[in-house]
Amino acid sequence: MENDAEVPQTDTRLELESKRGMLAAIIDSTDDTIISKTTQGIITSWNPAAKRMFGYTEEEAIGQHISLIIPEDRMGEETYIIGQILQGQKVDHFETLRRAKNGDLVPISLTVSPIKDRSGRIIGASKIARDISVQRIAVEKQGVLAAIIDTSDDTILSKTLEGIITSWNKAAVKMFGYTEAEAIGKHISLIIPPDRLDEESYIIGEVSKGNKVDHFQTFRRAKNGNLIPISLSVSPITDESGKVIGASKIARDISAEQSAQQETAELYKQLQALNAKKDEFIGLASHELKTPLTSVNGYLQILGQRITDEKNKVFVQKAQQQLSKLSTLVDDLLDVSKIEAGKLNFRDEVFNICEVISDAIDLISHANGNYQITFETSTPEFTIRGDAHRIEQVLINLLTNAIRYSPGSNRIEVYLFAEAENVKVGVKDFGLGIASEKLNHIFSRYYRVDDSSANVSGLGIGLYLCYEIVTRHRGRIWAESELKAGSTFWFILPIA
Ligand code: ADP
């Protein structure tokens, strides 16, 4: 200080000059916009950064009122700022918007300081403006992300590669019971059950390599000691250079899902047990029915032979017909229980399927005299390997259905032709038809289409038996149908 006082007058001026020069150079080269103005708001200096920010040249700006760059709805701010300046106050980090020459609004942070003359009188203000658009977007983005994380129902937390918890959202507080203050800074083992600690090294290993660990189902321990089943997704957090610096974890409580799964599995088990019981009952009942049926049939035959009166003979015949229907039903039920028990056996013989089809048509035509059943085949002989009796059963079922579900028609067409290594058989009717969404179900056990079967008695097992018989012969069965136009049931069997 002393020395300073002794510096000659000329040197001080020189120094002052060079100081001024240096300041001017700094102002000229800085990236911050620096403007000065009088207390009346007239711009008195305008550096190159101000030109870059607002688009006006020094010549265009100097001498103009500062309102040149103030949006109309923000004019009031100027009065406030000048008011502060006139009181000798600095206005710091005032975030606002200013308008550039091209009309764009520029978000800025303003610092305005009073300029005083030698006597200390305030003669103007210097403004330093910093463009905060990037910063603002980043802050806005961060705000949005923070809000998403905070309101998420999923537990979201982050940790360093050393396992230190660095963030902990509200859902994490709810799930684990630790507050943010209790969790942040702690090691993640806070919530890992001791017998699962090695999972952490696996997860960190993957994340360090830049890999994501997805839907990792595990357990974590809450503050109260409860184990929570969760599904974890862990992703690497990278810095600007792409280096992995931590991990973000999203954890979803899957206890509800798990108990629902367990419940479903339990219900399924119960259902299977009940189903098995029902099958067992059907098997037993049909077996029990079979014996009296056979003896009633025997007695009816004896009665038929003994009765001489023609009228009474007809009654016995009718009783026999009904009994035969009942026998078929019981036989079908017995077949179903045999299938379920894996005990439906097939004969292995080579036979001509044309004959089997003709026999089945004869049988059905005989019982349904008013029906016209045509048979079209490309050749009178096709040799098949399997159980002729069972294949006949398939045809009888299909023909019977074709009659039962065609109330307004008396025509059935049967086709047989070769297709590749197979024979293809079709039974076509012109009856009720089946809705397309039901077609997939008709071969299921006990399934009946509500609309068409409403007036037809049945148990919904005929097509199921057809399906079992055909597939056990290494064949395939399906149906094509159009409502109110009719259906064609097709099956293919390999040629022997
Ligand atoms: P059931 O005839 O005893 O009900 P099926 O297993 O033979 O049992 O047939 C299952 C269901 O498929 C029937 O209830 C009926 O609704 C439908 N269905 C079968 N064949 C035909 C057909 N030819 N036309 C229309 N619907 C049919």
Q: What is the pLDDT of residues 63-116, one digit of tens each?
A: 999 999 999 999 999 889 989 999 999 999 888 999 999 999 999 999 999 999
54 CA to centre of own chain: 50
For ligand 1, is residue 487 a contact (CB within 6 Å)?
Answer: yes
From the list 332, 242, 254, the residue with the least C-alpha distance to 289 is 332
Task: State the distance from the centre of ligand 1 to the C-alpha of 450, rounded, in angstroms.
Answer: 10
* Sheet of 105-116, strand order: 43-46, 33-38, 122-131, 105-116, 91-99
Structure tokens at 34: 């620096």
Among 20-34, 337-351, 463-477, name the one with the lowest average pLDDT. 20-34
Task: State the distance from the centre of ligand 1 to the C-alpha of 453, rounded, in angstroms.
Answer: 7
Q: Which atom of ligand 1 lies closest to the CA of 464? A: 6
Task: State the distance from the centre of ligand 1 to the C-alpha of 172, rounded, in angstroms.
Answer: 57
Would you list the domain boundaries of the chain? Answer: 1-25, 31-130, 137-253, 259-341, 349-494
User: Once rounded to an integer, what is the mean pLDDT over residues 491-496?
Assistant: 94
For ligand 1, is residue 448 a contact (CB within 6 Å)?
Answer: yes
Model confidence band, residue 3 (pLDDT cutoffs 50, 70, 90): very low
From the list 468, 384, 466, 373, the residue with the least C-alpha distance to 418 is 384
Architecture of domain 31-130: 2-Layer Sandwich (3.30)
Three-state secondary structure readout of 30-83:
CCCEEEEEECCCEEEEECHHHHHHHCCCHHHHCCCEHHHHCCHHHHHHHHHHHH
CATH class held by domain 259-341: mainly alpha
- Could you give the CA distance from residue 25 to residue 44 in angstroms, rounded to a whole number? 17
For ligand 1, is residue 401 a contact (CB within 6 Å)?
Answer: yes
Q: At what angle do helices 255-306 and 310-340 cross, to 10 degrees?
A: 150
- Could you give the CA distance from residue 429 to residue 440 in angstroms, rounded to a whole number? 19
User: Once rounded to an integer, what is the mean pLDDT over residues 429-451?
Assistant: 92
For ligand 1, is residue 156 a contact (CB within 6 Å)?
Answer: no
Task: State the distance from the centre of ligand 1 to the C-alpha of 438, rounded, in angstroms.
Answer: 11
**Residue 139, SS3?**
helix
Q: Which protein residue has the closest C-alpha to ligand 1 atom 21? A: 401
Is the pLDDT at 429 greater than 60? The verdict is yes
403, burial (CB in 10 Å: exposed 0-12, middle 13-18, buried 19+)? buried
For a ligand 1 pocket test, name from 395, 403, 441, 449 the mutation site with the most ligand atoms within 8 angstroms of its C-beta.
Answer: 449
Q: Does CATH place domain 137-253 in 3.40.50.1980? A: no
Task: State the distance from the centre of ligand 1 to the C-alpha of 275, rounded, in angstroms.
Answer: 22
For a ligand 1 pocket test, name from 411, 453, 469, 489 the mutation site with the most ligand atoms within 8 angstroms of its C-beta.
Answer: 453
Task: State the distance from the centre of ligand 1 to the C-alpha of 448, rounded, in angstroms.
Answer: 6
Q: What is the pLDDT of residues 163-174, one digit of tens each?
A: 999 999 999 999
For a ligand 1 pocket test, name from 395, 401, 459 the mutation site with the most ligand atoms within 8 angstroms of its C-beta.
Answer: 401
For ligand 1, is residue 229 a contact (CB within 6 Å)?
Answer: no
* Residue 165 Cα distances to 115, 186, 234, 353, angstroms: 49, 6, 13, 76
Q: What is the pLDDT of residues 178-237, one digit of tens each?
A: 999 999 999 999 999 999 999 998 999 999 999 999 989 999 999 999 999 999 999 999
Among 160-169, 235-244, 385-394, 420-429, name the one with the lowest average pLDDT. 235-244
Task: State the distance from the centre of ligand 1 to the C-alpha of 343, rounded, in angstroms.
Answer: 25
For a ligand 1 pocket test, name from 414, 440, 463 the mutation site with the most ligand atoms within 8 angstroms of its C-beta.
Answer: 463
Task: State the distance from the centre of ligand 1 to the C-alpha of 418, rounded, in angstroms.
Answer: 26
Residues in the chain: 496
* Residue 323 Cα distances to 285, 295, 314, angstroms: 17, 11, 14
The answer to whether the Cα torsion of 406, 408, 409, 415 is positive or negative is negative
For a ligand 1 pocket test, name from 410, 414, 448 the mutation site with the most ligand atoms within 8 angstroms of its C-beta.
Answer: 448
Query: Residues 248, 160: contact at Cβ < 8 Å?
Result: no
Is the pLDDT at 14 greater than 90? The verdict is no
pTM value is 0.56
Structure tokens at 14: 């020189």
Task: State the distance from the centre of ligand 1 to the C-alpha of 298, rounded, in angstroms.
Answer: 32
- Could you give the CA distance from residue 249 to residue 214 in angstroms, rounded to a whole number? 10
For ligand 1, is residue 428 a contact (CB within 6 Å)?
Answer: no
Which residues are within 8 A (CB) of 228 and not within 5 positions of it... i.e. 6 or more apart?
175, 176, 219, 220, 221, 222, 253, 255
For ligand 1, is residue 459 a contact (CB within 6 Å)?
Answer: yes
Q: Where are the alpha helices (DSSP H) in 411-483?
A: 436-439, 450-453, 462-472
For ligand 1, is residue 394 a contact (CB within 6 Å)?
Answer: no
For ligand 1, is residue 237 a contact (CB within 6 Å)?
Answer: no
> Which long-range contacts (C-beta less than 8 Å, at least 24 apart) are formed by 20-29?
none
Among 9-18, 37-46, 148-157, 377-386, name the one with the lowest average pLDDT. 9-18
Beta pairing partners, 395: none
The answer to whether the Cα torsion of 309, 310, 316, 319 is positive or negative is negative
- Could you give the CA distance from residue 354 to residue 377 in angstroms, rounded to a whole number? 8
Structure tokens at 295: 């003896």
Report the share of the chain in percent with pLDDT over 90.
69
Q: Which protein residue has the closest C-alpha to ligand 1 atom 4? A: 460
Model confidence band, residue 451 (pLDDT cutoffs 50, 70, 90): confident
Q: What is the pLDDT of residues 277-335, one digit of tens each?
A: 988 888 899 999 999 999 999 999 999 999 999 999 999 999 999 999 899 999 999 99
Task: State the distance from the centre of ligand 1 to the C-alpha of 219, rounded, in angstroms.
Answer: 51
Residue, of 47 and 279, whose pLDDT is higher: 47
Which residues are within 8 A (CB) of 231 and not within 5 positions of it... i.e. 6 or more apart?
215, 216, 217, 251, 252, 254
Structure tokens at 73: 């709805």
For ligand 1, is residue 399 a contact (CB within 6 Å)?
Answer: no
Domains 137-253 and 349-494 share a fold: no
- Could you give the CA distance from residue 486 to residue 480 in angstroms, rounded to a whole number? 9
Task: State the distance from the centre of ligand 1 to the C-alpha of 462, rounded, in angstroms.
Answer: 8
Query: Residues 394, 469: contact at Cβ < 8 Å?
Result: yes
For a ligand 1 pocket test, name from 452, 467, 469 the mutation site with the most ligand atoms within 8 angstroms of its C-beta.
Answer: 452
From the list 251, 35, 231, 29, the residue with the least C-alpha distance to 154 is 251
State residue 10's pLDDT score.
52
For ligand 1, is residue 464 a contact (CB within 6 Å)?
Answer: yes
Average pLDDT, the chain: 90
Is the pLDDT at 2 greater than 60? The verdict is no
User: Once rounded to an integer, what is the mean pLDDT over residues 429-448?
Assistant: 94
CATH number among 3.90.1200.10, 3.40.190.10, 3.30.565.10, 3.30.70.1520, domain 349-494: 3.30.565.10
